[in-house]
């Protein structure tokens, strides 16, 4: 597909579905927050002010302040980098590892397939969030390990997808032709099969992003990975939760709303991408 046609198709898909466009714009804004968060934030997200603790939303603090008087708007903005960073790197990792394992299993079949398949089945035999908790505890309580845990629990989806996509292409005419041309197995796989399964895998990844964010935020909500002064949406919701019963709603509402917004936009964008690439799957 030429670049112009791609641009036209993209324009068409966005024109047809305003919600996808809106989601893309909001995501771009969130990405901006993630990239330039510290310089966009009006206050230092870590500076405490005992005099202004739990101040309701005002013109000075549009989102109010938390129990230590830190400006919530700044904290929500700065947290975007950590939240999106964790989700994107986890999804990217499971995309790469899943693609590699899945395509090897799908292409070679036999024992490779059996071993990879059983490992993935073992992962799927656990409730995924519970498994992620277990992995983080076993590996140690850090942000990196949250990423690894999220990567592992998402792995089976990518792996199975890549496996079946490679499997149906393995004996197609053009692959036979490439093999006849003297390419080795890995060359055929890398140059002729994998490029063809990338687009549907990308859709899978974008549909998966929202879930990865929820998972990482859920882990930090129960106190895993991110340490208290660090701004992160999940842990901020859990910090704000104690003040709900006394009516200070802003402390949990705004970080939670940021979380919902990010997940919602990724889901919308994923749906839009899927419509663009595979209109038949539209439900």
**Subset of residues 51 to 80 that bind another protein, contact rule: CB under 8 A:** none
130 sits near another protein (criterion: CB under 8 A): yes
- Least distance CB 140 / another protein (angstroms): 9
- Least distance CB 270 / another protein (angstroms): 11
Q: How many residues bind another protein (CB under 8 A)?
A: 44
Contact residue for another protein among 224, 226, 273, 276 (CB under 8 A)? 224
Backbone angles phi, psi at 46, to 5 degrees: -105, -10
Contact residue for another protein among 57, 62, 117, 200 (CB under 8 A)? 117
Is residue 69 exposed (0-12), middle (13-18) or buried (19+ Cβ within 10 Å)? middle
Contact residue for another protein among 22, 119, 124, 139 (CB under 8 A)? 124
Contact residue for another protein among 53, 198, 202, 264 (CB under 8 A)? 264
- Least distance CB 256 / another protein (angstroms): 4
The contacts of residue 54 (CB under 8 Å, 6+ apart) are 64, 65, 66, 67, 69, 243, 248, 251
Contact residue for another protein among 10, 112, 141, 167 (CB under 8 A)? 141
Nearest by Cα to 229 from 126, 86, 31, 75: 75
Nearer to another protein, 33 or 136 (CB): 136
- Least distance CB 85 / another protein (angstroms): 18
Instruction: Enter the DSSP assignment of 189.
Output: I
Structure-block tokens of residue 87: 């989700």
Contact residue for another protein among 44, 121, 176, 278 (CB under 8 A)? 121
3-class SS shares of the chain: helix, strand, coil, % to 5: 75, 0, 25
Find out whether 124 and 156 touch, Cβ atoms under 8 Å: yes
The contacts of residue 36 (CB under 8 Å, 6+ apart) are none
227 sits near another protein (criterion: CB under 8 A): no
Find out whether 178 and 193 touch, Cβ atoms under 8 Å: no
Query: Which positions touch another protein (CB under 8 A)?
Result: 117-118, 121, 124-134, 136-138, 141, 210, 214, 217-218, 221-224, 234, 237-238, 241, 244-245, 247, 249, 252-253, 256, 259-260, 263-264, 267-268, 283
């Amino acid at each position: 597909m030429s670049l112009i046609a791609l641009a036209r198709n993209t324009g068409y898909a966005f024109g047809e579905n305003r919600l996808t466009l809106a989601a893309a714009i909001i995501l771009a804004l969130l990405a901006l927050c993630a990239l330039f968060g510290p310089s966009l934030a009006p206050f230092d997200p870590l500076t405490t002010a005992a005099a202004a603790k739990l101040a309701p939303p005002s013109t000075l603090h549009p989102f109010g302040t938390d129990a230590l008087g830190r400006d919530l708007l700044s904290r929500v903005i700065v947290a975007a980098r950590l939240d999106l960073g964790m989700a994107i790197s986890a999804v990217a990792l499971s995309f790469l590892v899943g693609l590699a394992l899945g395509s090897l299993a799908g292409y070679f079949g036999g024992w490779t397939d059996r071993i990879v398949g059983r490992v993935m089945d073992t992962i799927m035999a656990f409730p995924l969030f519970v498994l992620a908790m277990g992995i983080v505890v076993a590996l140690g309580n850090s942000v990196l390990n949250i990423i690894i845990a999220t990567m592992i629990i998402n792995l089976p989806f990518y792996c199975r997808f890549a496996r079946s996509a490679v499997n149906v292409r393995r004996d197609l005419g053009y692959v036979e032709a490439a093999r006849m041309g003297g390419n080795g197995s890995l060359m055929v796989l890398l140059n002729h099969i994998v490029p063809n399964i990338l687009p549907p895998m990308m859709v899978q990844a974008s549909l998966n992003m929202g879930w990865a964010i929820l998972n990482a935020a859920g882990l930090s909500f129960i106190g895993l990975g991110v340490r208290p002064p660090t701004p992160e949406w999940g842990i901020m919701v859990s910090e704000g939760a104690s003040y709900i019963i006394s009516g200070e709603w802003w402390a949990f509402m705004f970080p939670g709303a940021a979380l919902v917004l990010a997940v919602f936009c990724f889901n919308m964008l994923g749906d839009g991408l899927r419509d663009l690439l595979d209109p038949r799957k539209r439900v």
